[in-house]
């Protein structure tokens, strides 16, 4: 299975409550779930939510801690990774975010906050290639996405897969192998024509 450790935006737009709960465990179909330490799979993922969802999560349980514009959930997802919720002022507007932070790294919540602010202050509305893939993965229903098994070469097993539709064909492909056209076809119309930003 491919693990990620960088800070990354996984959904474009403001997630409603249903979407928020789906995004909390968008890797639910991962192989050997609960048998491995999947901390690196989740740590670094973030997305925007509305104030109602932020406040709802604050009221569920007393937080593990609260620090200025952020609070951490008491229940850990896996290992030392838990949900951290942010209230951030960006370009004069108050916005709300959820992120998975590895609390074994003391500065993880602060680095996540800084990463979110930096990303959301881009002067031009754009998406990187990786952000397009993450949004496609986040939006695709569980029945149409999964993880490479025995049908794939050994070096690809455990990588994310997705159904791709062509002219009269349906093909199970590695997520990372989608063409630009296949990615665009799976994006919502309002995101298809955003310029592609080269990741720094």
Judge if 148 and 116 occupy the same domain: no
Q: What are the CA-CA distances from residue 22 to residues 6, 19, 142, 157, 170 (Å)?
A: 21, 5, 10, 24, 25
What is the mean pLDDT of the segment spanning 91-116? 93
Which residues, in sequence order, are CB contacts of 128 under 8 Å at separation 6+?
Answer: 196, 197, 198, 199
What is the mean pLDDT of the segment spanning 173-185? 89
Cβ neighbours around 98 below 10 Å, total:
23
Judge if 42 and 109 occupy the same domain: yes
pLDDT at residue 26 greater than cutoff 90: no
Q: What are the CA-CA distances from residue 66 to residues 73, 74, 87, 137, 183 (Å)?
A: 9, 11, 11, 31, 39
pLDDT at residue 61 greater than cutoff 90: no
Judge whether 83 lies within some domain: yes
What does the pLDDT read at residue 50? 96
pLDDT at residue 71 greater than cutoff 90: yes
Judge whether 171 lies within some domain: yes
Indicate the range of 8-12, 27-31, 87-91, 108-112 predicted with least confidence: 27-31
Tokens of 114: 């800084």
What does residue 22 show for φ and ψ, rounded to 5 degrees?
-65, -40
More reliable by pLDDT, 95 or 180: 95
Q: How many domains does the chain have?
A: 2
Q: What is the extent of the structural domain holding 148?
A: 129-192
pLDDT at residue 49 greater than cutoff 50: yes
Residue at a domain's end among 85, 120, 155: 120
pLDDT at residue 94 greater than cutoff 80: yes
Tokens 């009269």 appear where? Answer: 168
Please say whether the beta carbons of 110 and 55 come within 8 A: no
% of the chain surpassing 70 pLDDT: 90
Q: What is the pTM of this model?
A: 0.86
């Amino acid at each position: 299975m491919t693990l990620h450790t960088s800070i990354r935006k996984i959904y474009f737009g403001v997630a409603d409550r249903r979407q928020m709960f789906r995004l909390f465990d968008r890797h639910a179909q991962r192989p050997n779930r609960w048998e491995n330490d999947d901390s690196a799979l989740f740590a670094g993922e973030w997305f925007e939510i509305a104030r109602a969802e932020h406040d709802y999560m604050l009221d569920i349980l007393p937080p593990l801690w609260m620090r200025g514009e952020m609070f951490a959930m008491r229940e850990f997802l896996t290992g030392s990774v838990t949900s951290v919720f942010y209230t951030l002022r960006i370009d004069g507007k108050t916005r709300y975010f959820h992120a998975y932070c590895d609390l074994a790294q003391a500065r993880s919540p602060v680095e996540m906050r800084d990463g979110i602010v930096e990303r959301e202050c881009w002067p031009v509305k754009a998406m990187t290639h990786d952000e397009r893939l993450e949004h496609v993965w986040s939006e695709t229903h569980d029945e149409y996405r999964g993880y490479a098994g025995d049908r794939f070469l050994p070096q690809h097993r455990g990588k994310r897969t997705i159904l791709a539709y062509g002219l009269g064909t349906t093909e199970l492909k590695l997520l990372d192998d989608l063409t630009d056209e296949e990615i665009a076809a799976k994006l919502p119309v309002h995101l298809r024509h955003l310029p592609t930003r080269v990741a720094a």
